[in-house]
Amino acid sequence: MQKPKRTSLVDQVVEQVQFYIESHTWPIGTKLPSEQELVEQLGVSRNTIREAMKALVHIGLLEVKQGDGTYVRNYTGFNTSFQRRLKKEKIEEILEVRYALEMQATKLAVMKRTDKDIQLLQECLSKRDLARKEGKDIALFIQKDAEFHMAVVGASHNQILVDLYKSILESVQESIGGLMGNINQ
């Protein structure tokens, strides 16, 4: 028989924050309460909160935006391991998955889109076209293109599809950047 393991306060805070994220109490994109608010809510020291936040940023669940705060980036560690795997896959395979997700998202968006979705799509398309016409900054074009495609997926109003698309978006952007870099050489 093994002795029960004691968990540190940092581990307990990590587990609590993971629970909030996985239970969608704090959905993707949510700004976390301030460090002081977390200290008060969880009854631990600032140091414990800082260490837990570092651990959660390291595994990809949280993202720190300097001067703004800490945000939920992913729901589970699955996404982190999935991201590592995507970095090893062939560009063609990533683009095939993108195509499949976007085709379904487009079909759903046609049926479920709102006037607000249409307005956002038009804005994103205009910004992408402007970035393409200026043509000086490939990274800006890729970012605006990703925002447009994300708006299409968002117009599907299917949160699972949105989350899946977000999980491959970074790899898609990297693959497009690589392709465009090769074209411009």
What is the C-alpha to C-alpha distance for residues 88 and 175, in angstroms, rounded to an integer? 11
Query: What's the topology of domain 9-72?
Result: Arc Repressor Mutant, subunit A (1.10.10)
Give residue for tokens 């699955």: 78
pLDDT value at position 77? 53
3-class secondary-structure state, position 33: coil
Give residue for tokens 């968002």: 154
Which among 88, 9, 91 has a CA at the least distance from the CA of 51? 9
**Domain extent listing, the chain:** 9-72, 88-184
Which residues of the chain are under the pLDDT cut of 70?
1-6, 74-90, 175-185
Q: What does the block give as tokens for 115? A: 């006037």
- Count the helix, strand and coil residues of the chain and give each as a percent rounded to the nearest 5: 70, 5, 25
Give residue for tokens 């560009």: 91
pLDDT tens-digit map of 70-117: 999 866 555 555 555 665 666 778 788 889 999 999 999 999 999 999
Instruction: Please provide the CATH number assigned to the domain covering 88-184.
Output: 1.20.120.530
pLDDT value at position 185? 45
Give residue for tokens 């095939």: 96
pLDDT value at position 110? 97
Q: What does the block give as tokens for 171? A: 């790899």
